[in-house]
Amino acid sequence: MTTAKPLRADAQRNRDALVAKAREVFATGGFDLRFDDFAQLAGVGVGTLYRHFPTREALAEAVYREEVVALCARASDLRATRPASAALGAFLRGFVSYLDEHQGLARTLATLATTHAGALAEGGQALTEAIAGLLADAVADGTVRDDVGVGSVMMALHGICAAYDQPGSRAAADGVITLVLAGLESRPAG
């Protein structure tokens, strides 16, 4: 396997500017923006845009990858700074807030399902591992049942993701997270 050659400093700045601008545009619902417009908004030439990201989907994938890294870092930070069950709850509630704030990216990612399935699978695996760590911590300290695996939690999150664009989805998603957390609580025997 070959590793990508590091970018020159100016090329890295241009790439970072494109990804940052795309993140903003997707967050504000700019799904229908022409692809070439990303270059102007980021303050770079169209050639620079296409050199780094030949398609809108490639740009969305780059944003997605960075967002997954940030979400996983959030899980690590919560694990290091909060009690286990509080960390798990904060992450799951934060995930719902994240989805609500990034609906434009979610719409864009829906277009990636067939063309960039590998990136989506890698991101899903990274999030699964992050949540598994939060869940394992809460099981270890006895605040969460040990008979519910990360797959069940991920299934609830997948359901929330699938319904993000439905009317009232935010309140419903918050309710689902409340149910998940209540269902995970460790109960005394008898």
User: CA torsion sign, 29 to 31 to 32 to 38?
Assistant: positive
Confidence of residue 171 (pLDDT cuts 50, 70, 90): very high
Question: What would the pLDDT profile of 89-98 be if each residue is shown by its tens digit?
Answer: 999 999 998 8
Q: Residue 89: which of 138, 146, 128, 127 has the closest Cα?
A: 138
Is residue 190 over pLDDT 60? no
* Residue 140, Cβ density class (10 Å: 0-12 exposed, 13-18 middle, ≥19 buried): exposed
Domains along the chain?
8-54 (1.10.10), 56-184 (1.10.357.10)
Which among 21-30, 52-61, 143-152 has the top mean pLDDT?
143-152
Which among 14-18, 77-81, 97-101, 118-122 has the top mean pLDDT?
77-81
Mean pLDDT of 99-121: 71
CA distance 149 to 135: 8
The amino acid at residue 164 is Y
Confidence of residue 7 (pLDDT cuts 50, 70, 90): confident
Q: Residue 128: which of 150, 111, 144 has the closest Cα?
A: 150
- Between 29 and 55, name the one with better pLDDT: 55
Is residue 31 over pLDDT 90? no
- Between 112 and 83, name the one with better pLDDT: 83
Confidence of residue 2 (pLDDT cuts 50, 70, 90): very low
Mean pLDDT of 33-53: 92
Percent of the chain scoring above 90 in pLDDT? 53
